[in-house]
Structure 1
């Protein structure tokens, strides 16, 4: 009832507010009737006490102004290279008015300065002072007020529907180009103009040659911040023993930039997440995309979620950029992250013939460090060198106590895991623009990746009976495992770009990739007298060296005609691999992989992309290892030395449409993958115990994935619609029987958001996810329904209120289970514009929910999961702006 009253109230305010407004719409074109995108349309009220209003035409030249009814207004239209035009307008009723601009021989400087948005080629510049009001705290608050720019809750930035992939500050990468660290931490009062660079490549003469379609955002600092230390610090104390402290410090000068971000808290707030980790995994220039698989070491599994019983997190990051000489830039960053967490998870696992209730209690201490050094050398405008070095190091401990209940029988297993991993990446790039026709690029890449894992299991009850040669007469069953991997990659790629003319290019690629991987396992039992029962006599223990060499040649032809860009070509790969174990196997084969790309660009805001690839991949050494090793307390795995490469079709069609003043944003995508030949796991069950191995199957899987995202603004409301599906079919072998499985997931989200100037921004939405999993003839169905509300309100000039609420209704239709939980968070902050001090009250998990519930599918089981979370936290924070 309360939600209905809120909606009625919002609608009433909307009707009243909108009745006092007049809409002026139309098109801005040149004398040949061609639309002028990004033209500035400015309304200047005759009453100088009233504010200016701005509009920027979209790609069709369309504009829309919302004006105060009864005002007398001068409409000024300006566009680079054209004579400005003024039009007198009395706002009495909604009006449509088109404008025709005439080309000018000169463009006056004062007109350029007045423009809030200018476009030069692929670069769009926002004059931020025309859009902000001084209430903004961080860069994200500034960006949200720029037309066509959106910032999501995870710190991702999109401009006219396209994702920003690189974040720059005064032309230099900010922490490797990470957008989240920038939008969440750069103070708003340091931000000058904002540049958006489409089709970005850090090597300017390679722009147009790559198909990465990247977009960069460059934050220009205000002049008084060009040689200045600025930033902010914050400290907070909450109920019980909860605390938080953070610091964001920045120093900028013409030749030296230093950025520091630090955070320490025990409220489950993670400055550094798994998605952030991926953005710091290093890499090479976008023109080598497709020639390298991004692999960043064995770290991801230790990036814990925020859903913990307790959490202590420490984070520090330092970024330095130095202009050493006119030709040499040096930059680097160091990142440190440490989290100590405790978690409690309850699972109800449905296997093929039985059920298991499982309780997991885990204490983890995860330490991660990343160091990066980049050298950028520009001997002249047509040549560029890069030397990049990255080192990552992690040291993690994980102590787990698991209670498993099956058919009234309880088993308790304690597991202690330790992992130490080191990852080193070194690459050297060279790019040369020989002349207008020929450009050359090459890269040499070296990777060293080592991980050492130690695992201890102990239990008073027998486990893995019949699968491990354990002595079950002992008072306590204690199993110790070593699992070590060491991988070295040496890769070299050379590319030649032949630009026959502006519309026809031929690309040639020659490369070689070499992998050398060692995989070692040892499983033993520690007996009561501390002697060792080695499982090697029972077929356990691996010591394999796996080598894979990939020599490849690719030729591609790219041409443009009108709105079409087509690229087609083929890679020929010679794969040679060797497994050094007993027996030793040497194999060699040729694989031809065609690919196709088509882009139909109607304009910058409307395009279709179609691509197809025949792809292949190889398993790692652990899948080739032909002796047993323990995967967990209830599973034993053995690889298969006879497996070969996977081969599969991959196709995608993507359509995007954006119109700023029609308030329309539409994205649709459809993906299809079909394995021609693939490696899949097989399993034999003995109650909960599992023996797994891998086999090659013909046509083992096929899946379709699709998504539609639609946003439409009407008057002062934005309507959102999202729908997605994932339909997959695959075969698996269970207990020597082949069964066909299907996994059909559907989800949709509906939302409405208010867009009033002097009224809270309120979003009300509804989300539902439906999962259907069929294994053989057994079908399971899950439904999760989530209504949600978010409120953002700036009031009394200095106050900001944020609130979000989500109610999750979870149903397991198969078992008749239902569960509901509610999560709500609220923040009230205050900062006087003329003061450096700020104050904030935060309430996290306001309704004191105990856990979250979800479900998951795998090849062998269906799992309902309860994840227990932090209790209600109320915290007062005080901040200071330097």
Structure 2
């Protein structure tokens, strides 16, 4: 927190410097207002820009800046007007301009005005300037825009941070689940991409409570747009198919998107329904529904390459989204629904070479084959009113899973004295039902605002894991001399051959909040009171099947637990929103009351503790292009029902776990702080950001992991310990209009230090990982476009155990290159190369892949004919090597063979 205080003091100092405010109006000689004229403050004689602004619809501008200069240049540019420059004193004043008509060359307008423009907190990108000839949908272009990046899961980042809203013509149709539109909205329908910095989505709070996140708004060319994307594909090795049909309609009052997608050629389209942005907390609670996975089968590993290389799937995904304006124009109704049916096959070989202190250097290998079956349905209804005078939002959702997994395992354990081999069949059934409702309302009360929020969540999970045979009873572990020793996990019935673990958990949660906001000049004060309540009920039973039939094993392997966590809290939120400085301070106190009962073991945890959890955020903007921010917080977390069960649970076929810590509940205190400075200059297309964060977690429980012949038993002991993490990240991006080239480079480093128990012995871990990334794309040549992405990750992990230090260094390179040639009009040939290299000590592994794509564009009908040859070298195995806290891990993963695909792609209108 000391570093935060120093940085915060610096911000206050900067903000306290003498500021100059220059206002005025730009008109023509006839007195007509000139909108969108650029007004820049420059250093005399060298034209270095200090600050700038764009005139509004009435021709007015306002520039606030800091400078010690006595004189400054004030330059005004407007389309078809002659540029004017005035040398003025550096003081508060009003300066008007009357512009003389002139001819502006179109070339200058395209490069200087239309490429990237900024007005207030909104930066607009002309999408055509960043697209290649073969780019078809929004996602293709976003990756090439400076300052914007797209993660593998589809999350859009601006200046390294996730966006909080994704709009189409100013409307939030998808409510954070924008992956479908990102992958299906044709570029031809888009006019501009707008980034709205410091975006507060709740309109009634926009001048009161600041936001540090950005939003993206897609401005379409037409106010009424019927569009969408379709694709029909067939292929071989084996029979392959790919169907995508996503029609869309966008008008001022109605927006809808329908989609049906199916394929067996390695596209995980079902993830397009995931919630990727969550808006403002004042909108209520919105969560991505997921299953509580208490039990798992052994799972084959996935390679660190594009999914199209290895995913053996057969998926059907149907979805629909609707937004309509009700009779009262301020009200919107939204409905979302989707259904997924998916089957995935996976196959891999893992080999762990344990360090000598773990299992006496044993080598354990797994050959794993999986079948994952997913059925999921979701329906959601949303009513919203979002105006400058009031806010209301209610979201109701129902989600159902019907999932089933299968595993076929061959395992061997090799020690210098013996070798053991086992096989097993595993299955997991896991149905889940979830219901959520979130309500938030903000209404004015005189000059004050009242905000009431309520959230209810009810979820039921049932899971049944079956292992045939029980590997614990058919295998051996090793004594202190390395000799094999027979071990049974079930002392009551060592003859049992089959195990069935049953888990049922019921969860009920509610959060209720009320606050009152009032403003005084630029300050907003919000006292708040809230009450949250969580009730979990856990039932588990472990069965064994053998010569005596079905048997249970008593309380040691059973759990019947009720967990209650009641948390009243009081807080005061203080916000300051100035022209350049924004502050957000939250002073919160929570009163935690936790009660846990374990019926069979009759153990009770009763904890009452008050915690003070302040948080601070500050952002300062200066010189028009720079933005600095800090934030810090103290947060307490307590154990949940997953941390308090006393009976053993067979979480995986090789992991028997209990969290018993003699009736002590986990209590963690997290101190977190980070600082960030960003530069974004649309005038010269340069973007830069630097971030640093420090985190310390103080814990009262320490995990204790025991290794026995490849089996793992996890428990917790009462012992204070810390987890320390610090990280830094830097990114620089630049677009070169003259060369139609975008380039960026980023570097990140992360250092983590922790302590744990292995076989009741202290182990200290120090992990230092670093990463370089480089991105480059160009369309400078009419006959060629090029995209290249490079990543180099390396690290060093040091483990101190029983007085010895084990240092393990590793690294991997990743290259992705796509070159598209345009030899003849409407014809293109794309060559793709993807390669990942791994190094571990003296071992080096290389994984190259090559693809070839031919495309013909029927311009009259706007149809693409595509012939693609994937994995030309017919590589069938992906190899990877790395390290863990107990030794070296080698993986061999089986991937898709060579395949050929013919596709027909088209737009809906």
Q: Which range, TM-score by smaller chain?
A: 0.7 to 0.9
Partner residue of 2:289? 296
Unaligned runs of 5+ residues in structure 1 are: 1-26, 41-57, 61-76, 88-96
Work out whether 1:430 is the aligned partner of 2:433: no
Work out whether 1:496 is the aligned partner of 2:516: yes
Partner residue of 1:49? none
**Structure 2 counterparts to residues 396-795 of structure 1, below 5 A:** 396-407=403-414, 408-435=419-446, 437-459=447-469, 462-463=473-474, 465-469=487-491, 471-473=493-495, 477-502=497-522, 504-528=523-547, 531-536=549-554, 539-559=556-576, 563-581=580-598, 582-603=602-623, 605-640=625-660, 641-712=663-734, 716=739, 718-750=742-774, 752-754=776-778, 756=780, 758=782, 760-764=784-788, 766-776=790-800, 777-792=805-820
Instruction: Supply the distance in 1 between the matched residues of 2:840 and 2:402 (Cα, whole angstroms).
Output: 38
**Conserved? CA contact 2:876–2:897, under 8 Å:** yes
Work out whether 1:874 is the aligned partner of 2:900: yes
Return closer, same or farther for 1:624/1:153 CA change in 2, 3 Å cut-off: closer
Instruction: Supply the distance in 2 between the matched residues of 1:131 and 1:322 (Cα, whole angstroms).
Output: 32
Partner residue of 1:74? none
Alpha-carbon offset, residue 560 of structure 1: 5.4
For residues 366-402 of structure 1, the C-alpha deviation after alignment (integer angstroms, 9 at most, x for no partner) is 1222221101146x75122111011221111111011
Alpha-carbon offset, residue 604 of structure 1: 5.5
For residues 611-670 of structure 1, the C-alpha deviation after alignment (integer angstroms, 9 at most, x for no partner) is 111111122212101111112222211122312321121111122222345443322222
RMSD between superposed Cα atoms in Å: 3.7
**Conserved? CA contact 1:160–1:660, under 8 Å:** no
Alpha-carbon offset, residue 760 of structure 1: 2.8
Instruction: Supply the distance in 1 between the matched residues of 2:838 and 2:131 (Cα, whole angstroms).
Output: 42
Instruction: Supply the distance in 2 between the matched residues of 1:431 and 1:459 (Cα, whole angstroms).
Output: 59
Return closer, same or farther for 1:771/1:797 CA change in 2, 3 Å cut-off: same
Work out whether 1:805 is the aligned partner of 2:833: yes
Partner residue of 1:313? 315
Return closer, same or farther for 1:854/1:440 CA change in 2, 3 Å cut-off: farther
Partner residue of 2:60? none
Return closer, same or farther for 1:499/1:268 CA change in 2, 3 Å cut-off: same
Partner residue of 2:229? 232
Return closer, same or farther for 1:857/1:332 CA change in 2, 3 Å cut-off: farther
Pick one of 269, 280, 285 that aligns with 2:280.
285
Instruction: Supply the distance in 2 between the matched residues of 1:549 and 1:358 (Cα, whole angstroms).
Output: 44
Partner residue of 1:18? none
Q: Number of paired residues?
A: 795
Instruction: Supply the distance in 1 between the matched residues of 2:871 and 2:64 (Cα, whole angstroms).
Output: 44
Instruction: Supply the distance in 2 between the matched residues of 1:871 and 1:629 (Cα, whole angstroms).
Output: 39
Instruction: Supply the distance in 2 between the matched residues of 1:546 and 1:157 (Cα, whole angstroms).
Output: 38
Return closer, same or farther for 1:750/1:201 CA change in 2, 3 Å cut-off: closer
Partner residue of 1:392? 399
Return closer, same or farther for 1:522/1:547 CA change in 2, 3 Å cut-off: same
Instruction: Supply the distance in 1 between the matched residues of 2:126 and 2:733 (Cα, whole angstroms).
Output: 26
TM-score, structure 2 as length reference: 0.79
Pick one of 347, 358, 361 that aligns with 2:369.
361
TM-score, structure 1 as length reference: 0.82
Return closer, same or farther for 1:817/1:558 CA change in 2, 3 Å cut-off: same
Partner residue of 2:165? 166
Instruction: Supply the distance in 2 between the matched residues of 1:649 and 1:827 (Cα, whole angstroms).
Output: 51
**Conserved? CA contact 1:157–1:179, under 8 Å:** no
Partner residue of 2:848? 822
For residues 234-266 of structure 1, the C-alpha deviation after alignment (integer angstroms, 9 at most, x for no partner) is 111112311111111113444332211221111
**Structure 2 counterparts to residues 343-382 of structure 1, below 5 A:** 343-351=346-354, 352=358, 353=360, 354-377=362-385, 381-382=388-389
Unaligned runs of 5+ residues in structure 2 are: 1-37, 45-49, 57-62, 66-74, 89-94, 476-486
Q: Which structure ranks higher in relative contact order (CA pairs < 8 Å, sequence separation ≥ 6)? A: 2
**Conserved? CA contact 2:164–2:280, under 8 Å:** no
Return closer, same or farther for 1:651/1:463 CA change in 2, 3 Å cut-off: farther
Instruction: Supply the distance in 2 between the matched residues of 1:567 and 1:78 (Cα, whole angstroms).
Output: 36
Alpha-carbon offset, residue 862 of structure 1: 5.0
Partner residue of 1:44? none
